[in-house]
Chains A and B, each alone.
Chain A
Amino acid sequence: MTLLFALLLAAAPAGAPPAERFERANALYRTGDFAGAAAGYEALVSDGFTSPSLHLNLGNARLRLGRRGQAIASWERALRLDPGDEDAIGNLRSARRDDPDRALAGEPTLFARVVERTGDGLAAALFLVPWWLLWGALGWRHQRGGSARRAASAAALLAAAGVLAGGALLAGRARDRHLPIAVLVAPSTPVREGPSAALKGAFELHEGTRVRLRGAEGDFVLVRLDGGLEGWVARGDVEPL
């Protein structure tokens, strides 16, 4: 009976409204059909839909299927959309508790953590607000004299500092997109000194470890750990966020 229900749900037309498709995938998950649920969520993602809940649920389904690395990638995506998503944070914390690469991977810098936990919209706002304030203060300064001019100068300086901070944040977010973060999805993968399978692995990374993609060549991508280690891994072993 459950199987029949799952088949009926899975047979839902792809042209149905996305909210309906999402609910169907959730229903599959609740009935224990995690493969069907994951397929439903992944179809929504590949159709260009996104939301923190979609990626959270996809991560849960993937974990239930034993795809821990892919689950971590999904939760990371949920967190990028909503840096305060408690569910995604909790799942990631649990999933990374016994991370074998923790010592090797190193810790991201404070700035990197702030950039990562700041949403794109918030970063843009944190830049634009002082930007407007800066130009407003400059305009005010242009039209005033005496103490008002001094106050406007001080306000402009403060706003300029805010523009610099917001600009750094925005630049960090842009860099994250330019050099995307990825998660290893293979249970373990050798990291080589060059983009060739003939080279012996220098060290090994494991499922769920975060890396930054720095380039690609053939079937290999160059990855860098927060601690500074670099190397080439098979392209299929990582999933960019």
Chain B
Amino acid sequence: MSRRTGSALAAFAAFAALAAASPAAAARAPSVEAVVDRSELGQEEILRLSVRAEASEPPARLDPPATPFDFEIVGSSHSQQSSMTFAGGQIQARHSVQWLLGLAPRRSGTLTVPPFTVTIGSVRLATAPITVKVLPAGKGTRPAPAAPSAPPPAQPPAPAAGWRGWERDLWLDVQVDEKRPWLGEQVTASVFIVSPVGVIGMEGFKPPPYDGFWAETLEIPQRLEPARRMVNGIPVWSFLVQRIALFPTRAGKLTIEPFQADVTVQVLSGNRLFDPFRSVEQVRRRSAPVLLDVRPLPPGAPPGFESVNVGSLSLELAPGERTVPAGEPLALRITARGEGNVRAWSLPPLPPIAGTRRFDPASSERLAPARGRIAGSRTAETLLIPERPGELSIPPLTWPFFDPKTGRYEVARTAGLRLPVTGGDGGSAPPSASAALRAELRPIRAGDPLGRSGPPPWRRLPFAILFLLPPAGFAAVVARERLRERARLDAPARRVRGAERAARRRLSAAARRLQAGDGAGFVAEVERALTGYAADKLGRPVIGLTREVLAATLAGAGAHPPALRALLAALDACDAARFGGAPPGEPLLDAAAAAMTLLEEGVGSRGTEGRA
């Protein structure tokens, strides 16, 4: 075991470099080292203690001193590294763990960081105590936090340098995208929780009254999403709470008053470094007020301009229908679109139109914020009722507005409209069909082919066919397979059953040969009829069997002696005709037929039964 105690910044840097290097100290005994990042600090600053342990098995735990000491542990993290080396033909593992602790001094003076204990397997190793000098608050080695010019009482300033403890470095931050907006121009204010520790919740969010502004909410995240942010070199978490679009309603100095929120954070509790149940704290924070210098709109506004019409805008005039019967309502929509304070826009009025009656316009807005800007459309719908057929003429409309992007006044224009008014029912529609409903009516359609109404598809023949075809096809497939299988299993029995028929066909063929004068063929056919019959009945070939064996086999199959004798006699007659010169003729045919008849009496039924 080796121990080393360092207290200088150089030692810390060297140690950090060593920690980053490859495990050159493999195959050494377990070691524990502790260094701090400085030997002198202010009371409001944080001392960083690094403890590194190396061993052949993974170090398990770092325990802080059991009793309270001069520092409070305000943060911790650790990293682990393992390596394998070959030495002496063996594989050696080396594990190193580095813990980084943030220690906040509880008082000033010469303080001691007491030994921390590292457990590696069954071995416990302790670091050496380290002495540091803590200066009173405000006299630290780093620049003191810069105080804001006019901090509110409850507003902690952003950390200018160094860690000052989570309570002091957690604040509500309001950022605006424009400090000198035009009157009516959008200012986007984003409210963030900035915290060096994990934020797990927020309650009681209180926005200010927005005096002097028209406010529209742009974004409220469903949950707090952390984002990393550097504040004066210190990494902190930033959580967007709300994003608001503010439209100044008067020129001059305006203030966005403080926002307030109760923020719940999770922090380490005391010195219990590895306590799984970290303590949860709730603190109230107020943001700093934000001062805006709102510029008045420049002189030279065109006639008809209203100061609420600020933005990048366009104007459109559209009729509900291109043709309208006299006495029927026609909806005329004046729509302004663009970026700006949509709900506040004042749309141009519809000028008087001769020969029409009108209802008061109805306004509607559709907000569609895009890229953090309030945008959308505002529509004024006026119902006009032309009183007589002819042409309805609506003059062009003009609408002056101020564009803050260019800093100039512009005029949006629409084209005029001319709509034919057909003869109608003179507006005599019964009151149950409201004018508004008729105005919204979709136009009639033409050109759609007419069909005959008929029964539903499931009551038609094609449906029945399509319904029955698949099961019928399936049944056909199954039936065909069953028939094939049955035929395959039944082939021998069928052969036995058909033996006599086949033999008779051959005898008929033999008779035809005899009539044709083919004696040799006649004899051969008769012999084939007899031997084929025997083979079919026995279910085996009989060629090559001696007459005695054939007779014995047939006898075994049930043939009686007279039938056997008749068969042998017929076969002998065949031999005699073929080899002995006996004339072939009807007697041979008769003998063969008689032999088969006799055989059928005995073998016929038994052969079939045997197969079955």
A: residues with CB less than 8 A from B are 2, 18-19, 22-23, 26, 29-32, 34, 44, 48-54, 56-57, 60-61, 63-68, 71, 86-88, 90-91, 94-95, 97, 120-121, 123-124, 128, 131-132, 134-136, 138-139, 142-143, 170, 173-174, 177, 187, 207
Residue pair A131, B456 in contact (C-beta under 8 Å): no
* A128 / chain B contacts, CB cutoff of 8 Å: 463, 466-467
Contacts A2-B423, A54-B450, A132-B470; is A95 near B444 (CB within 8 Å)?
no
Residue pair A94, B456 in contact (C-beta under 8 Å): no
How far is B449's CA from A165's CA once the two chains are assembled, in angstroms? Answer: 32
Residue pair B451, A49 in contact (C-beta under 8 Å): yes
Residue pair B458, A64 in contact (C-beta under 8 Å): no
Contacts A30-B422, A142-B478; is A66 near B430 (CB within 8 Å)?
yes
4 tightest Cβ-Cβ pairs between the two chains A and B = A66-B430, A135-B470, A53-B448, A32-B424
Q: What are 6 sample pairs from A and B whose C-beta atoms fall under 8 A apart?
A: A32-B422, A53-B447, A60-B442, A68-B432, A131-B470, A132-B466
Residue pair A91, B442 in contact (C-beta under 8 Å): yes
In the complex, B457 has a CB within 8 A of chain A: yes
Q: Which of A50, A95, A134 contacts B451 (CB 8 A)?
A: A50
Residue pair B446, A23 in contact (C-beta under 8 Å): yes
Stretch from B273-281, B352-360, B433-441, B554-562 forming part of the interface with A = B433-441
Number of interchain pairs (Cβ within 8 Å): 137
Residue pair A44, B450 in contact (C-beta under 8 Å): yes
Residue pair B432, A66 in contact (C-beta under 8 Å): yes
Contacts A135-B470, A139-B474, A174-B456; is A187 near B432 (CB within 8 Å)?
yes
Residue pair A136, B470 in contact (C-beta under 8 Å): yes
* A187 / chain B contacts, CB cutoff of 8 Å: 432
Question: From DSSP, what is the main secondary structure of chain A's interface residues?
Answer: helix
Question: From DSSP, what is the main secondary structure of chain B's interface residues?
Answer: loop
The total of chain B residues at the interface (CB under 8 A) is 43
Residue pair A64, B429 in contact (C-beta under 8 Å): yes
Nearest CB in chain B to that of A87: its residue: B442
Contacts A64-B425, A67-B433, A90-B442 aside, 18 further interface pairs with beta carbons under 8 A come to A22-B450, A30-B444, A31-B422, A32-B425, A50-B451, A50-B452, A51-B451, A60-B441, A64-B328, A66-B429, A66-B433, A68-B433, A87-B442, A90-B440, A120-B457, A120-B458, A132-B470, A173-B456
Residues B402-432 near A (CB distance < 8 A): 422-425, 429-432
In the complex, B311 has a CB within 8 A of chain A: no
Contacts A134-B470, A142-B478; is A22 near B446 (CB within 8 Å)?
yes
Residue pair B458, A54 in contact (C-beta under 8 Å): no
Residue pair A29, B444 in contact (C-beta under 8 Å): yes
How far is B453's CA from A61's CA once the two chains are assembled, in angstroms? Answer: 21
Residue pair B470, A124 in contact (C-beta under 8 Å): no
How far is B442's CA from A88's CA once the two chains are assembled, in angstroms? Answer: 8
Distance in Å from the Cβ of B263 to the closest Cβ of chain A? 43
Residue pair A139, B450 in contact (C-beta under 8 Å): no
Residue pair B446, A53 in contact (C-beta under 8 Å): yes
Residue pair A51, B457 in contact (C-beta under 8 Å): no
* A50 / chain B contacts, CB cutoff of 8 Å: 450-453
* B424 / chain A contacts, CB cutoff of 8 Å: 32
* A138 / chain B contacts, CB cutoff of 8 Å: 474
